[in-house]
Structure 1
Amino acid sequence: MLSKNPITTSLFDLFKVGPGPSSSHTIGPMKASYNFLHQLNTLPIEIAQKGKQIQIHLYGSLSATGKGHGTDRAIVGGLLGWQPHTCDPKALNGLMKVQEDKYSIVFQGIAILISATSLTYHKGKTDFPHPNTMILQLLDEAGNVLFEGEYYSVGGGFIQQKGQPPEGSTDRQPAYPYSTMEQLKVHLKTNGLALAQLMIQNEQALTGLPEKEILRKIDQIQDFMHKAVKRGIRAKGILPGSIRLQRKAPVLYERAKQHASATDSFLSFMNAYCLAASEENAAGSIVVTAPTSGASGVFPGLTYLMKYHFHYSPQKMRDGMLAAAAIGFLVKHNASISGAEMGCMGEIGTASAMGAAMLTYAAGGSIEAVEAAAEIGIEHHLGMTCDPIGGYVQIPCIERNAMGAAKAYNAYLLAMTVEPGMQKISFDSVIKVMRATGRDMSKKYKETSEAGLALSVTEC
């Protein structure tokens, strides 16, 4: 069964700006620890003054691959009062370099030192509501818990605190409530609306922002994506981590320019752009979740291609992003965009489906064609594992972004070439299959680095 509750997620919660390399392991934990700091500042002073220690407990893939993903420094950054969309990525990458590093966490005039020993990485099966669970505790001198927050990093940088409404929940209701693709299509037909119009009106209802501001913010999101591409095609050297992976994007870009007259040159450029943004993510630079950081190379590659090679107008680009958001919302609402729940089909698979929808709608495709493109994008990522070597968002993640973009492009071509009625599988159906596949997949293949390609390389 798909969810019956209407989607109330904002476009700007789905597309978030923040530091790499992982929205679940970096952006989510930073937001959670920042929230915990805020709650410490609101504790009754008689409780706060008893605080002598802060302890952080990590479970699931936050424990299994947290160090490779930078979860420790993200948590410290949040406790220092940093936020993903404003933090300095260089300063963030400088945290927790050695075991002896200590940081003073200040709340209500009280200072507590934390270090690597403040974090505990728990192994084994847990019964928490989500695999990516973190518990932050304020302890007294004897080690008794004075206050704690239990958080779940549910994918794409979204967090949920135990006992609290899900992040982004609101009492506001969308102008055209829907929870399935079928309901979305009924709204469009009944009200004579274009998909982009419906998405804008829903965003206005949910956020209270005027249309002009929404469009400005969409342009700003694209600008962040394209800045990541531009940085990535210039940057050279070795990516952080023990794999010592060499950046490839600058070489690919130069070779693409040398063969610019070839019939398939746009694919060479697209590969370079996808790798450029994805390598920036792996380096811990600022990227945009689309819908996650691990998949943050797919969209920049496609949108950069659309803007600088296909010369789409700004409005066409915005409309495409709105169509993509509709698809991302449906997956997040009815399955998951979390690698810890769905494997990489939840990340690259969703990004590919969103990209296919964007290309199709920007090219003038109908809602039926958009649905077909998105369905094809998901269908051909079903069962894809998330098995990063060493817990780093590098192998196979970086190249997988380029492959996801290529599949998105082909899904768009397929959807625009045949009559939509010839497509036998609906988008709602493939989301049900996606959710069931993620549920049945072994946890070893869901972001834990315990199987698959993660075991194919012996690190020195």
Structure 2
Amino acid sequence: MPASPIITSVFDLFKVGPGPSSSHTIGPMKAAFDFRERVARLPADVQQPADGIHVHLYGSLSATGKGHGTDRAVVAGLLGWQPETTDPVALLALLRDPAVTYPVPVGSQTLFVGPQHIHFERKRYASPYANTMVLRLTTGEQVCYEEEYYSIGGGFIIRKGEPETNPDTVAVPYPYASMTELKAQLAQHSLTLDTLMMTNEMAITGRTRAEVNTRIDQLLEFMHKAVRRGLRQTGVLPGTIKLSRKAPILFKQAKGMSHTSDSFLLFLNAYCLAASEENAAGGIVVTAPTSGASGVIPGLTYLAKQHFHYDRATLRAGLLAAAAVGFLVKHNASISGAEMGCMGEIGTASAMGAAFLTRCAQPTGNINAIEAAAEIGIEHHLGMTCDPIGGYVQIPCIERNAMGAIKAYNAFLLATSGAASFQKISLDAVIKVMKATGRDMSTKYKETSEAGLALSATEC
């Protein structure tokens, strides 16, 4: 039995929330909400003297937080908003007027939070994670109470002093922490990947099989709504780049070329751009595994449904296979752009997409082919930087979603060509390489907008 088995739920990996960034928007919103809840439980003698709430952002939360809307997300969390139920229009309206402040109840009094209470710290902060935020309840210059949080990618947060996961809280029937261990469980118990993933998910969440399936269907619908909205929306995305949406144009071209060999790629590009442009606009998307990569899986699943006509059961099985790959990367490396660069986001999404396609194409799912597809997907994203222009999740992020999906499709083709057994590099091995590459990569290329493409264009 592995010492630290994966006990992440499918519904923690795939989360519904507003764009443009899971680590900069969803994570900080959850952290601020948690802080609000903890402050509400403080003794009156701690609450009463307080006269201010201050939020200090470090790492790429500071470097690119403005472009990612981190300040708005923090205010939303302090107001008691939750990612899945947030109105994206209302979220975009927060802090639009710098003179407006927002009420936060603290015991019997109300404190007000505005732009002056959110501090984008440029100095380095001693922390085990790249994205750190410190929230303080203050009386003048004195700190009455504080909490430190780490946004580790995909909307996952850790509060200082608490473990990321506690294996003792859940006993999964089929524990694994690597692909090698996962395959051993499948062989030992004569299981399909579908059965193992579903059984573990029911144990982790306490949901029935029918409830898990219903929630997966809902996630797919959230993804496909983002695609459909993005295919209809025109105009310019928010921010100073003034980037025009392309998805509707590509979709129109694809329909006009439906009888040509290129239409397949045009449709896939249009679907991925559509969801990714919705994310960039602050719309509701699904982290897959992050918001910055929320165009890859939605685009591929929309293609699989609309063009390949897979039924619901097949799409669910494919999404479980994608989740298995996402779990392995998150558990053994990272899905955070601030930790791994874009290979942690688009690279992981591409690998997950390749696993999804491979499982959907096979009646029961060949685990060796699924592993090979995922390995190829990561292998050909190794070293990819995260260097967003202006700190916005737009250039190169939107097109990278489409490119990641195309690579996922090709990885699926390579893995199902009958040569999966010839694959020399295992998924476990490439994830180790991914982790080492991310560790060695300069912080300038990890979501800080300090180098690379971020410096190649002058905003106008």
Specify if TM > 0.5.
yes
Secondary structure of the structure 2 residue equivalent to 1:152: strand
TM-score normalised by structure 1 residue count: 0.98
In the other structure, the counterpart of 2:173 is 175
- 1:95 equivalenced with 2:71 (yes/no): no
Retained in 1: the 8 A contact 2:4–2:167?
no
Q: Quote how far apart the aligned CAs of 1:420 are.
A: 1.9
Displacement over 4 Å in runs of 4+? 167-170
Q: Quote how far apart the aligned CAs of 1:418 are.
A: 3.1
Deviations 1:115-148 (A, max 9, x none): 11101111133320111000000001x3200000
State the one-letter code of the partner of 2:375. Answer: E
Q: Quote how far apart the aligned CAs of 1:102 are.
A: 1.0
State the one-letter code of the partner of 2:244. Answer: Q
Q: Distance in 1 between matches of 2:330 and 2:168?
A: 16
Deviations 1:146-187 (A, max 9, x none): 000100000000000001232687601211000000000011
Deviations 1:394-443 (A, max 9, x none): 00000000000000000000000032220000000000000000000000
In the other structure, the counterpart of 2:195 is 197
User: Structure 1 residues 237, 198: closer, same or farther in 2, change over 3 A?
Assistant: same
Q: Distance in 1 between matches of 2:42 and 2:166?
A: 24
In the other structure, the counterpart of 2:334 is 336
In the other structure, the counterpart of 1:50 is 49
In the other structure, the counterpart of 1:139 is 138
Report the RMSD for the aligned CA atoms in angstroms.
Answer: 1.1
Secondary structure of the structure 2 residue equivalent to 1:417: coil
Retained in 1: the 8 A contact 2:230–2:247?
yes
Q: Distance in 2 between matches of 1:114 and 1:187?
A: 51
State the one-letter code of the partner of 1:208. Answer: G
Q: Distance in 2 between matches of 1:57 and 1:127?
A: 13
User: Structure 1 residues 61, 169: closer, same or farther in 2, change over 3 A?
Assistant: farther
In the other structure, the counterpart of 2:413 is 413
User: Structure 1 residues 289, 324: closer, same or farther in 2, change over 3 A?
Assistant: same
1:123-138 map, 5 Å:
123-138=122-137
Secondary structure of the structure 1 residue equivalent to 2:169: coil
Q: Distance in 1 between matches of 2:435 and 2:50?
A: 42
User: Structure 1 residues 241, 402: closer, same or farther in 2, change over 3 A?
Assistant: same
Given candidates 143, 149, 152, the residue that maps to 2:150 is: 152
Q: Quote how far apart the aligned CAs of 1:105 are.
A: 1.1
Retained in 2: the 8 A contact 1:93–1:284?
yes
Secondary structure of the structure 2 residue equivalent to 1:43: coil
Q: Quote how far apart the aligned CAs of 1:108 are.
A: 2.2
- 1:356 equivalenced with 2:343 (yes/no): no
Secondary structure of the structure 2 residue equivalent to 1:405: helix
Which stretch has the larger CA shift, 206-215 or 261-270? 261-270
Retained in 2: the 8 A contact 1:26–1:71?
yes
State the one-letter code of the partner of 2:105. Answer: V
State the one-letter code of the partner of 1:127. Answer: A
State the one-letter code of the partner of 2:355. Answer: A
Q: Distance in 2 between matches of 1:212 and 1:102?
A: 45
Q: Quote how far apart the aligned CAs of 1:29 are.
A: 0.2
User: Structure 1 residues 170, 76: closer, same or farther in 2, change over 3 A?
Assistant: farther
State the one-letter code of the partner of 1:362. Answer: C
Retained in 2: the 8 A contact 1:13–1:168?
no
State the one-letter code of the partner of 1:5. Answer: S
Q: Distance in 1 between matches of 2:33 and 2:327?
A: 25
Q: Distance in 2 between matches of 1:370 and 1:71?
A: 36
Deviations 1:258-280 (A, max 9, x none): 00111231111010000000000
Q: Distance in 2 between matches of 1:32 and 1:50?
A: 23
Q: Quote how far apart the aligned CAs of 1:193 are.
A: 0.6
Q: Paired residues, what number?
A: 457
Q: Distance in 1 between matches of 2:166 and 2:341?
A: 24
Q: Distance in 2 between matches of 1:133 and 1:375?
A: 31
- 1:18 equivalenced with 2:17 (yes/no): yes
In the other structure, the counterpart of 1:210 is 208
Retained in 1: the 8 A contact 2:172–2:200?
yes
Retained in 1: the 8 A contact 2:272–2:402?
yes
In the other structure, the counterpart of 1:318 is 316
- 1:403 equivalenced with 2:403 (yes/no): yes
- 1:31 equivalenced with 2:30 (yes/no): yes
State the one-letter code of the partner of 2:24. Answer: H
1:73-84 map, 5 Å:
73-84=72-83
Given candidates 240, 243, 246, the residue that maps to 1:245 is: 243
Retained in 1: the 8 A contact 2:62–2:122?
yes
State the one-letter code of the partner of 2:404. Answer: G
1:113-124 map, 5 Å:
113-124=112-123
State the one-letter code of the partner of 2:458. Answer: T
Q: Distance in 1 between matches of 2:103 and 2:123?
A: 31
Q: Distance in 2 between matches of 1:362 and 1:314?
A: 11
Which stretch has the larger CA shift, 92-101 or 345-354? 92-101
Secondary structure of the structure 2 residue equivalent to 1:35: helix
Retained in 2: the 8 A contact 1:371–1:426?
yes
- 1:306 equivalenced with 2:327 (yes/no): no
TM-score normalised by structure 2 residue count: 0.98
Structure 2: runs of 5 or more not aligned: none
In the other structure, the counterpart of 2:374 is 374
Q: Distance in 1 between matches of 2:104 and 2:40?
A: 11
In the other structure, the counterpart of 1:459 is 459
Q: Distance in 1 between matches of 2:380 and 2:97?
A: 42
1:417-428 map, 5 Å:
417-428=417-428
Q: Distance in 1 between matches of 2:281 and 2:108?
A: 35
Retained in 1: the 8 A contact 2:337–2:447?
yes
Secondary structure of the structure 1 residue equivalent to 2:83: coil
Q: Quote how far apart the aligned CAs of 1:346 are.
A: 0.2
In the other structure, the counterpart of 2:185 is 187
1:275-290 map, 5 Å:
275-290=273-288
Retained in 2: the 8 A contact 1:158–1:167?
no
